[in-house]
Copies of this chain bind each other. A is one copy, B any other.
């Protein structure tokens, strides 16, 4: 452990992988494209789950569980849906020693199986809205994979709701996008752009897709969550009708929305540095680590002092670990705990004992504070809040500093070939311009951001120069 991490400046991609593996967040598995989420990585996912689950429940949702294996024919019921997912499916053809009459696909997402059940459950407006979420694993056979960011199997949550009107479905779609934004910004300390996806980037089967987009430290975008207004597409495909209040029969309106273990990749890439992982305090499985700095002749005393301090902090409800290992040097331990991203390090040595104090070190800035013994708990709490805020502020500053408007397509191209960043530019809304830019620069429309929705569109389309109808944000992405 404490192996060398490739610096961000020399190879960002390798830096990322080095952090994932050295901080023991995940590991490659013997199955192509599938990862093993190790305990330190899974602890982050558990915290993400806990908080999001609470937010879903506070907005009226309940959890359920639907089968992972879906009859192949179900996927074909919604034409765009099957087209979108077919190339990525894993298919069970044998089971119980026999060839199956109908192959079963491992869910790439659960709209089809869920709407086949909603058909049984929904009859009247009294059954609506139906607000169900599922925590599950899904499989999408990806050609190129990267730990957390894109893996063949991943963990996620998928909300699937049914409503009595188009307006309600749209309100739900935006509400859940807002929940994601709040979670990303307030818990993960990652500022995001909310916005609508372009037609060509929307979910296969959706009427409209909305996303939150975050900027990573290499200035690429990462789509951190999506929320889809499915209109009546799945209700029609699965014939889900309901009796309306005024006695008519209508198809149900739907939404779906999800975030995945990819968020852990976002967390790593948004905040970490060349010493390792940096975890936003509100999601940290361990908030502070107490490390005694002893020599051979004072192991017992210093350890006792550290232990007492650690126990006190735990007793006050802080998530604290104590590293009493006397086989490793303090310096080695400092590096190890920096690697795993614990927000605050508390060092205590003989001098600190004498002075009845402790040394607090911030993971994000490296700042050292000498704190009287009686004030340690309060100071740790203060630092946790400060670090949380500082990580967000820094990320927001970084995004602002790297968000541009360009005078010409040539300037845009130079930027995308060079430094990168987010570019706000008018778009004529034609698929052709969008495709041409992608082909040319690998940059895509991340979304049509809400924050520019009411800003008058200045100038012509980034690509064709014809009148721009919408502001779009363009970037290379994960």
Binds B, one of A92-100, A400-408, A464-472: A92-100
User: Is B117 in contact with A29, judged by CB distance below 8 angstroms?
Assistant: yes
User: Is B90 in contact with A94, judged by CB distance below 8 angstroms?
Assistant: yes
Q: A366 in the interface, Cβ–Cβ < 8 Å?
A: no
User: Is B87 in contact with A36, judged by CB distance below 8 angstroms?
Assistant: no
| Nearest residue, chain B, Cβ from A69 | B31
* A39 neighbours in B (Cβ, 8 Å): 62-64, 132
Interface string of A63-94 (1 = CB under 8 A from B): 11111111100100000000000111111111
CA distance A88 to B69 in the complex (A): 15
CA distance A103 to B95 in the complex (A): 12
Q: A245 in the interface, Cβ–Cβ < 8 Å?
A: no
User: Is B68 in contact with A139, judged by CB distance below 8 angstroms?
Assistant: yes
Q: A55 in the interface, Cβ–Cβ < 8 Å?
A: no
Asked if A64 meets B42 with Cβ closer than 8 Å, knowing A27-B120, A137-B137, the reply is: yes
User: Is A93 in contact with B96, judged by CB distance below 8 angstroms?
Assistant: no
> Which residue, A66, A71, A88, A143, has most C-beta atoms of chain B within 10 A?
A66
Asked if A42 meets B63 with Cβ closer than 8 Å, knowing A93-B94, A95-B91, the reply is: yes
Q: Nearest Cβ in chain B — how far from A49, in angstroms?
A: 10
Asked if A89 meets B93 with Cβ closer than 8 Å, knowing A30-B71, A36-B117, A64-B42, the reply is: no
User: Is B92 in contact with A65, judged by CB distance below 8 angstroms?
Assistant: no
Q: A113 in the interface, Cβ–Cβ < 8 Å?
A: yes
Asked if A65 meets B37 with Cβ closer than 8 Å, knowing A104-B31, A120-B27, the reply is: yes
Q: A125 in the interface, Cβ–Cβ < 8 Å?
A: no
Interface string of A141-163 (1 = CB under 8 A from B): 11100000000110100000000
CA distance A415 to B90 in the complex (A): 50
Q: Nearest Cβ in chain B — how far from A170, in angstroms?
A: 24
Contact of A93 among B34, B41, B70, B93 (CB under 8 A): B93
Q: A397 in the interface, Cβ–Cβ < 8 Å?
A: no
User: In residues 424-467 of chain A, which contact B (Cβ within 8 Å)?
Assistant: none
Q: A46 in the interface, Cβ–Cβ < 8 Å?
A: yes
Q: A6 in the interface, Cβ–Cβ < 8 Å?
A: no
* A139 neighbours in B (Cβ, 8 Å): 68-69
CA distance A460 to B104 in the complex (A): 52
CA distance A137 to B26 in the complex (A): 20
Contact of A42 among B65, B68, B86 (CB under 8 A): B65
Asked if A63 meets B92 with Cβ closer than 8 Å, knowing A69-B34, A117-B36, A139-B69, the reply is: no
* A74 neighbours in B (Cβ, 8 Å): 30
User: Is A153 in contact with B86, judged by CB distance below 8 angstroms?
Assistant: no
* A152 neighbours in B (Cβ, 8 Å): 69
User: Is A63 in contact with B89, judged by CB distance below 8 angstroms?
Assistant: no
User: In residues 8-61 of chain A, which contact B (Cβ within 8 Å)?
Assistant: 27, 29-31, 34-39, 41-43, 45-46
* A182 neighbours in B (Cβ, 8 Å): none
Contact of A86 among B97, B120, B142 (CB under 8 A): B97
User: Is B63 in contact with A29, judged by CB distance below 8 angstroms?
Assistant: no
CA distance A71 to B31 in the complex (A): 7
User: Is B153 in contact with A69, judged by CB distance below 8 angstroms?
Assistant: yes
CA distance A155 to B136 in the complex (A): 10
* A70 neighbours in B (Cβ, 8 Å): 31
Asked if A66 meets B36 with Cβ closer than 8 Å, knowing A89-B95, A94-B90, the reply is: yes
User: Is B143 in contact with A96, judged by CB distance below 8 angstroms?
Assistant: yes
Q: A106 in the interface, Cβ–Cβ < 8 Å?
A: yes
User: Is A66 in contact with B143, judged by CB distance below 8 angstroms?
Assistant: no
Q: Nearest Cβ in chain B — how far from A60, in angstroms?
A: 12
Taking Cβ atoms with an 8 Å cutoff, the residues of A that contact B are 27, 29-31, 34-39, 41-43, 45-46, 62-71, 74, 86-97, 103-104, 106, 113, 116-117, 120-121, 132, 136-137, 139, 141-143, 152-153, 155
| Pairs of residues from A and B, 10 with the lowest C-beta to C-beta distance, nearest first | A96-B141, A34-B67, A39-B62, A37-B65, A90-B95, A91-B94, A95-B141, A93-B93, A31-B67, A29-B67
